[in-house]
Amino acid sequence: MTHNPYLIHPARILERKQESTDVVTFRLQLTHSVQQNAFRFEAGQFNMLYVFGIGEVAISIVSDPDEPAFLDHTIRIVGRVTQILGHMQIGETVGVRGPFGIGWPMEGAKGKDVLIVTGGLGCAPVVGAIEYIFRRREEYGAMTILHGVKTPHDLLYRERYDGWRHQPNTKVLLTSDEPGKTWHNHVGVVTELFDDLQLVPDNTLVMMCGPEIMMRVACNVLTHQGLRPDAMYVSLERHMECGIGLCGHCQLGPFFLCKDGPVMRLDRVIPFMGKVGV
């Protein structure tokens, strides 16, 4: 069959990094050179990762699109497939089908200040975009990275945040709802961090990832600060099974998030975000 979008390609685990007790980042490489050479992706796209005999799961690609021979994926152990996947080791083989979806507007963001707002545990999809910008630092304006967690325990990528602080023209602000004794950052919700930012609304592009309610509130606050909804992008999550807009699970209003997203321009999705039961 030509162009079978369901075909799964084997890929070897080259590297494995335990980010926390239940979060692992893998570096994968497609086993066959034909697929390896043909594989291209954009920041924010995802792959369907397959575990033999178990099934597939949609995971965003966090590595750099200019090195498409390596596919980095951060996996949180939460369900049936990730339970097995998350415990796999270097040298073992997983399946890859992709890349799918529409990623972050890295071209549109060039020359602009970029504000990253993430919340909760699900900030992996935006890590690729952050790293992308830092590798091309001079092409982008001021970087502001805001991240809110419920408790300090939920803070992933601690080392990465520390590293990002030292990037030129970059501000990193962290906040926790329930601080512990060792928390030296802001206490409260992520939207409180907006107050002290000197954003240039006409020249700022926002990339957001996290719980829909958090993003909805954050978008409202930013709109009040003069940011335009078409300059804000959100990464949304739904059950994704086919990756190609055919299986019907990932719908949000008129959108198939696997095909039209997962990154969506805010003005297109705001009527559907954070609504109960959709």
Partner 1 sequence: MNSDSFQAPSPRLFLRKNFLQLFHALKQLGYQILGPVLSQGAIQWKTITAPEDLPIGWNDRQEPGSYRLEQDSHSRFFNIIHGPESLKPLTFTSRETLLVLDRQDHTFSAKEIQPEIKPTAVLGVRACDLAGLAIQDRIFLNDTYPDPYYEQRREHLLLVAVNCTKAHPACFCASMATGPKAQYGFDLCLTEADEDFLIEAGSRKGLQVLEQLTCSLASEERIIQDKERIAACAASQTRRLPTANLPDALYEAHDHPRWDQVAARCLSCSNCTMVCPTCFCHGVEETPSLDFQQSEHTRVWDSCFAPDHGYIHGKNFRPTTKDRYRMWLTHKLASWIDQFGTSGCVGCGRCITWCPVGIDITEEAQALSQPSD
Residues of this chain that bind partner 1 (CB under 8 A): 1-10, 12, 31, 52-56, 76, 78-79, 82, 91-93, 95, 237-239, 241-242, 244-249, 251, 253-254, 256, 259, 271, 275-278
- C-beta of 19: minimal distance to partner 1 in Å? 17
Please name every residue paired with 144 in a beta bridge, in sequence order, or none if there are none. Answer: 115, 171
Angle made by CA atoms 230, 237, 195, in degrees to the nearest 5: 50
CB of 2 to partner 1, least distance (A): 7
Q: Do the Cβ atoms of 91 and 23 come closer than 8 Å? A: no
CB of 149: closest distance to partner 1 in angstroms?
17
- Helices 124-135, 158-165: crossing angle, 10 deg rounding: 30
**Which residue lies nearer to partner 1 by CB, 64 or 241?**
241
What's the rounded Cα separation, in Å, for the pair 134 and 168?
A: 9
Minimum distance between the CB of residue 92 and partner 1, rounded to whole angstroms?
Answer: 6
CB of 47 to partner 1, least distance (A): 15
What is the closest distance, in whole angstroms, from the C-beta atom of residue 270 to partner 1 in the complex? Answer: 13
Spatial distance between the Cα atoms of 157 and 131, rounded to a whole number of angstroms: 12
Rg (CA), the chain: 18
User: Minimum distance between the CB of residue 207 and partner 1, rounded to whole angstroms?
Assistant: 21
What are the structure tokens assigned to 260, written together? 């039209």
Indicate the residue among 75 and 222 with the shorter CB distance to partner 1.
75
255: CB partners within 8 A, 6+ apart: 261, 264, 268, 269, 272
Residue closer to partner 1, measured from CB, 226 or 253 = 253
State the Cα–Cα distance between residues 71 and 14, nearest whole angstrom: 10
- Within 8 A by CB and 6+ apart from 150, the residues are 120, 176, 177, 178
Burial 34-44 (b: 16+ CB within 10 A, else e): eebeebebbbb
Token pair of 33 as six digits: 């050179």
Q: Which is nearer to partner 1, 91 or 168 (CB)?
A: 91
Cα–Cα distances in angstroms (integers) from residue 5 to residues 37, 60, 97, 208, in the given order: 17, 18, 8, 29
Smallest separation (angstroms) from partner 1 to the CB of 101: 11
CB nearer partner 1, residue 93 or residue 167: 93
Nearer to partner 1, 10 or 179 (CB): 10
Toward partner 1, which CB reaches closer, 36 or 170?
Answer: 36
Cβ proximity to partner 1: between 32 and 136 the closer is 32
